[in-house]
Amino acid sequence: MDTYQGELQAKGLKVGIILSRFNQFISDRLLEGALDALNKLGAEDKDISIYKVPGSFEVPMLAKKLAKTKKMDGILCLGVLIRGDTPHFDFLSAEVTKGLAQVSIEEELPVSFGILTVETIEQGIERAGSKAGNKGYDAAFALVETLNLVKNAGLE
């Protein structure tokens, strides 16, 4: 039986990070966590590109454009959607999630989902570096592991 898994080694990997600026006081903390993780895994600054978009709705389109350039080994998407008093949150979270899954499948490129979908600002803060850890950090680890799995299993 063959078993494959990815290593936690980012040296030489080209990573594109797409950061939603909406709710920036939280999304910036996700970015800090992601960069910390990539640094710990051996990524070099020259191999990381950060693209800032106005909000989460713009993330899938930019992910598609980046994927088509074939310049990135993987894409890390970061942002935060906070439920409000209207159904806007439900529409956005569903479309952003579907859009990023579609990009990953169609372009056959690992796309890591580091976009928080939370009920309150407090939940967002908790998931961006306090009690619940930093989901940007976790998403970066997931991306690196997936990239290396694809490579190690000969699925490139």
Q: What is the rounded distance in angstroms from the CA atom of residue 13 to the CA atom of residue 146?
A: 12
The strand pairing partners of 115, in sequence order, are 79
Please enumerate, as own/partner, the contacts of 94-97 that have beta carbons within 8 Å and a separation of 24 or more: 95/57, 95/60, 96/56, 96/57, 96/59, 96/60
CA distances from residue 82 to 63, 93, 104, 109 in whole angstroms, order as listed: 21, 9, 24, 28
Give the catalytic positions in this structure.
88
Beta-sheet pairing, 133-134 with 128-130: antiparallel
